[in-house]
Chain A
C-alpha cells in the first residue's frame, strides 16, 4: 500500500485537518515515527515486546467444520489470541514506545468496544505512563467489563456524555483534551484514522498481522495465497494491517462494515476528525450517528486509506446487519469452539452470506482476520439472544 508522503494523502483522502494548536504535534509525531521506524533498536524493542509480551506471532487456524458447513475453506488469523484479546495491542505497543521516545509521559485514547482502551491502559502500565481513556456513555454501559479492566490497569476512564455518546464523541473529547495537553501528552489513536501521520503510522504498526498471515498462508497452502482476504472495518486498522500483507498478491481484499455504520456503503466525502474521508452525514454536513450492536464498529467514518482502496477498486467493501452477525457468532462457537468478538463476527457473517449466494466461489480459500475474542461481548449477546 502506498506511502502517503508528507501531506498524508491517499489519493484525495487523508490530510491533516486539525486546529493550528495540534499541527506542530502532528509534525513532531510524523518525524518521530519516521526516525523510529528506520531505527533498528526501536524495531528490535518493538518486535521483542510483540513476541515476549503480546504473544506474537498469532497462529492461523484452519477451520475444518466451519469450512464443511460453508463450502469454502476458511482460515482464521487469530488476533483474538494476542495479549489483551485483540489486534489493538500491536498498534499500542508501537505508539507507547514512540511516546516514550518523544518524552511524553501521558497517553490518552478513545475507545468504543473498550479493546483499544484496554490495550492502551496495558501498555501504559507496562511502561509506567499515565493513561486517560475517553469512552462514550453508551459504550461504558455495554462494555462494562472492559471499563473495569481499564481501571484495574490503572487508567482513568472518562465517560463522554456529548452527542451520540459513542466512539465518534469519544474521539472528539480525546482531541479536545489533546489540544489542551499537547506538550506532555501523546494521543494514542486506536485506528487508521485521524490526521496524518496516524492513518499511515497505525497501518504500519498493524501490518504485522498481514505480513505474518501471508507467510503462514503460504506455508499452509503450498506457496499460494488465499483467494479472498476478509476483515471487519470500524476505523479500519485490523483490515489495513491485514491488507498490507496481501495488497501485492492476487488475493481479493474485502472489508466488512456494520450496516448501521457503513461509511463506504452509505457515506459521502467529508472532513472530520482530522481527515478527509467518507462519512455518514446529512445534506448540510452534520455527522450522523452510527447504529450497531458492535461498539467497535459504531463509527460514522472510515480510515482514509480504505476510502482510497475502495475508490481505486483494489479492495471492496460490504456491510452486514446485526442479525447475521449474531448467527455468525453462534456458528463459529458451535463449529470451531471459538467465541469471536462481535466486530470480526461481521467479517464471518459476510463470508457465510457470500459462500451461500455465490459472492465467493465454492471451494475458494478465505482468510478472515479474527480481530478479537468475544469475552467482552458475552453478556451483551446473552441479553440479545434472550
Chain B
C-alpha cells in the first residue's frame, strides 16, 4: 500500500513567484477606462431600457451576416457571435448542432472575424468561443485579430477567473473587453472578484446547466441577477436558459437584460432566416420595452 505521498516539488517548476499561473494574483487589474461595449450598455440602461443580446453561431448558413444585420436592426443592444468549437462543453444540443453544421460548412475563426470586419455592424459584437481556439492562435494574435475585426468583447465560458490572466492581459492591451461569467454555485467572495474583473458586463448564468431552452424560467435566474446587481454597477445580463419573451421580461425585474441563444439558434436551424430571426428578436424587444 502506498504511503500518503509527500509533496516532492510543491508548485512545480514555473509556478514560483507571486503571480503563478492559475492564481488570482496572476490576473491583471481591470483597466479604469470603460470599453465600447460597457459604454453602450450603460448608456442604454441609463435611458431606461432593458438590454437584449442575441447569440448566433458564426458561419451557420450562408446568410449568417444578413441574420446579424437583421437582428441588429430588430433592436439588439449588442450581439454575441459564436466561433464554433469541436467540443463545446457548456453547450446543449441546439448550439452543439449549430456548431457542427458551421464547422462542416468550413467555418474558421479567421473566416468569421474577416466577415465581421467587412460587415461593419454598428451594434457592438462580443465573440463567444472556447479557450482552445484562443490558445491555439496565441493570446496576443487572437486579441489583435478580434480588435482588427471590430469585435468589442470576448466571452470564454471555460476560462474561469484564476486562469484568465494571460488572456485578459492581451485582451486589455488590444482594447477587447473580456466578459466573465458568474454561476449559481459561485460564492459571494468569488462573485465580488468576478465582478471586479469582468468588463463589458457581468454574465450571470441563470441556471446550473448548459445552454438550451427550458419550459420554465429557473428560480435561480432572478436570484443570480439580484446577487450580481448587489455586487456591481456593471450591467448584469442573465443568459443560459432564457427561452422566450415572457421569461426575458420576468428575469429583467432584477437583471439589466438577457442573452438569448438557443431559442434563436433553434429557429435558425429550422430555416427561419434573417426575417424569422428579426421577428423573434423584435418580440423580445417589444416585451422588454413594454416592461
Contacts and interface: CB of A to CB of B under 8 A. Distances in A.
Interface in B7-47: 7-15, 20-23
A141 B210 CA distance: 27
Interface stretch (A2-10, A125-133, A226-234): A2-10
Interface stretch (B48-56, B69-77, B159-167): B159-167
Indicate the member of A2, A19, A208, A276 with the most B CB atoms within 10 Å. A19
Contacts of A103: none
A384 B181 CA distance: 49
Interface stretch (A20-28, A79-87, A359-367): A20-28
A21 B2 contact: no
A71 B180 CA distance: 59
B1 interface: yes
Given A24-B190, A182-B185, A285 B159 contact: no
Indicate the member of B10, B135, B186 with the most A CB atoms within 10 Å. B135
A19 B205 CA distance: 10
A287 interface: yes
Interface stretch (A113-121, A173-181, A216-224, A258-266): A173-181
A181 B208 CA distance: 7
A55 interface: no
B210 A162 contact: no
Nearest to A169: B87
Contact of B9 (A3, A7, A19, A269): A3
A204 interface: yes
Given A180-B210, A285-B132, A285-B137, A16 B20 contact: no
Interface in A265-280: 268-274, 276, 279
B143 interface: no
A385 interface: no
Given A20-B183, A179-B210, A284-B108, A15 B12 contact: no
B14 A11 contact: yes
A211 interface: yes
Q: Is the interface of B mostly helix, strand, loop or mixed?
A: loop
A163 B161 CA distance: 28
Interface stretch (B88-96, B230-238, B268-276): B88-96
A38 B87 contact: no
Contacts of B133: 284-285
A172 B87 contact: yes
Given A8-B22, A182-B185, A207-B2, A19 B90 contact: yes
Contacts of B215: none
Interface in B75-115: 85-90, 92, 96, 100, 103, 108-110
B14 A175 contact: no
Nearest to A175: B89
A244 B4 CA distance: 12
A176 B160 contact: no
Interface in A1-49: 1-12, 15-25, 37-38, 43, 47
A21 B23 CA distance: 18
B96 A162 contact: yes
A21 B220 CA distance: 13
Nearest to A10: B12
A7 B23 contact: yes
A281 interface: yes
B119 to A, nearest CB: 20
The 8 closest A-B pairs by CB, nearest first: A285-B136, A7-B22, A3-B7, A21-B183, A180-B209, A5-B11, A286-B86, A2-B9
9 contacts: A3-B9, A4-B12, A7-B162, A9-B22, A20-B161, A24-B190, A244-B2, A269-B135, A276-B135
